[in-house]
A and B are shown apart, each in its own frame.
Chain A
């Protein structure tokens, strides 16, 4: 062995829960991610474990995601969603009877959804977090946390109590779900500002990740480039993303997911089939949406699409995984002579890439571990293991940065979303004042109101809203959520003086039910 590979998957969805509607479009983000990414990954880990493959994997599960995965209403709805997909798959087998090239795929979907449901119910007992935790206990998976609601920390830095609350609540939530403290954190949007390490180290967090230029532009110069972690002043370690391994997966030119044999993302029966037939499986208002049942492969650059052949796609995945491992191995062999320690290649990705956007992604990851198992130049490692082996690292000032477009903060602060921060700034300072004022209160109504104010503020702080406004995806929903939480916060604030409006408070508590364990005193 001459070097290490560190795979990091950042799993995150904003907290989306709408008990007031039976069907809610954006709730499906979760159901799709569970079916396409989270469960398939866990199932691959089961297989790899049986095969005795050396797997070391780091996964961030954000507190918002953990709260959704353990929410009983969402679990029930997810199960119903899967049952509906099974019904649809059966109908699809009927519909495609005369077309063998599609019929086989329809059968594949039925088998897939049935297996998913079975795994969810029987193996996991509907507890997906326990599925992750099982592998953590076996030492092949390291679960890390993220800020409580994926708040963009550099924009709270001027009032550090806001940052502190995001971290404290995240750590408490991790403790609630996994019965221990998190060793590491994925910073929301990989966004780092100088000084953040002080708060991280207060909460026992030993490491975080930055984009390439977080360490590359640090001061003094990083001796090993991005091929070894660095320490910040508090001894909290930072790992930086390797550009090369990222590019191989992401690049629109040379990236693997664009291979013509892989499943095409856009052609979906939600859009392609007759309204009459598909109506029960799309939005009840008749708006066409993706169903997840897709029959075509990418085929080529034109609109012409040919049938998806699962077997061919799986062969391709194996080829790509072999290529990926041999490229990493080459990289290690190039780097090793330049360094006086074993080089480390850190490859962070969005977890939802593997399975959702790149349908065959989970199989790719599994095969990558298989090929690496047989390679003697490179082996997978988790951050905690690495830091135990290499306790001495260079101390630098890490450069403020993010993994957003252009590498800094403009995705989350521009002419389209800058108005948000004035309100967030008011709210975070206000709740901190109130936490001081009511620190010792024994008035249970006041405590309830303050705790709900904390939830509303945290939800308003999610970086997802500013992001969606910038990208123009789900803009209306993002605007609505930002305003709704701020509005709730202000209305609850008034209640501290005018007395409890039980109906309104209960409504907020029901809908925005995140972090039952919360205490507003986190904002002290």
Chain B
């Protein structure tokens, strides 16, 4: 039963059981608050991993109606922090998100006047050791957003993103730069030129053996099996 719906007398009884001081002078609201405080404390003591063994008394004081008492949570749309993050997805895809704060925007564009200047997101790749840097994609963007990059050239490369202010007169000023990411590769390396090793016929065979002559990476069954892991859900319909 929710405490709000209990009589003051009943609440007083509970307060007496908990030995809450000053209970006789409390209003109904104060009683509820004092009881909840003490129940929370009981539970805290009890819930600590490896702590002393508690009793189940505190648990049963929680409502068991199965209804979520929490209101719907809305998270902020922006945080007012200059951000540009690039995350790898697979050998051909990456994801960027960014936020340029109003203050920063004003600094670069002057009074947030976007008619004289555009925000442009660009992606760059290079080989190992910063060799052969190349801009592979760019797009005008708003001050906050997400972008999915799909480009096979990023395979095995070093990839990063930059957010620049582009002015009408052709001038460009960098505002934000992401961290550089080593992108995954989807093939066996041709790099055999190293003092650690010598590729010979057997090595070829071992590579073939490792991949079983099939190009199967990751297990397709992975999702399938994980779903079944949680049996509380009847996944029978989707998983056959």
Contact = CB atoms under 8 A, between A and B. Distances in A.
A471 B226 contact: yes
B218 A402 contact: yes
Nearest to B51: A72
A404 interface: yes
Contacts, number: 295
Most-contacted residue by chain A among B33, B60, B88 (CB, 10 A): B88
Contact of A72 (B47, B223, B229, B235): B47
A422 B85 CA distance: 8
Contact of A509 (B44, B64, B83, B221): B44
A149 to B, nearest CB: 14
Contact of A71 (B47, B73, B76): B47
A334 B202 CA distance: 11
Contacts of A507: 40
A32 interface: yes
B93 to A, nearest CB: 7
Nearest to B205: A338
A72 B53 contact: yes
Interface string A23-53: 1011011001000000000000000000000
Contacts of A502: 37
Contacts of B48: 72, 513, 516
Interface in A494-513: 502-503, 506-507, 509-511, 513
B189 A221 contact: yes
B212 A76 contact: no
Interface in B35-57: 36-37, 40-41, 43-44, 46-54, 56
A420 B191 CA distance: 37
B49 A405 contact: no
A285 interface: yes
Interface residues of B, number: 96
Contacts of A20: 62-63, 69
Contact of B199 (A67, A223, A418): A223
Contact of B47 (A224, A242, A513): A513
A296 interface: no
B1 interface: no
A473 B234 CA distance: 10
A284 B53 contact: no
Given A19-B43, A339-B206, A426-B79, A406 B231 contact: no
B10 interface: no
Contacts of B192: 220-221
Given A402-B218, A405-B218, A243 B212 contact: yes
Contacts of B202: 338-339
B213 to A, nearest CB: 10
B210 A226 contact: yes
Contact of B203 (A70, A223, A414, A426): A223
B41 A506 contact: yes
Contact of A193 (B85, B182, B229): B182
A284 B40 contact: no
B47 A510 contact: yes
Contacts of B85: 158, 421-422, 425
Contacts of A21: 62-64, 66
Contacts of A274: none
Nearest to B90: A408
A412 to B, nearest CB: 9
Contact of B88 (A154, A211, A403): A154
A181 to B, nearest CB: 19
A422 B169 CA distance: 33
A352 interface: yes
Interface in A315-329: none
A148 B79 CA distance: 26
Interface of A: 17, 19-23, 25-26, 28-29, 32, 67, 70-73, 76, 154-155, 157-159, 176, 193-195, 211-213, 216-227, 240, 242-244, 246-247, 250-252, 265-266, 271, 283-285, 288-290, 292, 334-335, 338-339, 350, 352-353, 356-357, 394-395, 399-411, 413-414, 418, 421-423, 425-426, 429, 467, 470-474, 480, 483-484, 486-487, 490, 502-503, 506-507, 509-511, 513-514, 516
Given A221-B207, A352-B229, A473-B226, 9 more contacts: A73-B59, A225-B210, A243-B212, A405-B223, A410-B89, A470-B223, A471-B227, A487-B73, A513-B48
Interface of B: 33, 36-37, 40-41, 43-44, 46-54, 56, 58-60, 62-64, 66, 68-70, 73, 75-76, 79, 81, 83, 85-91, 93, 95, 97, 99, 146, 178-179, 181-194, 196-199, 202-203, 205-207, 209-212, 216-236, 238
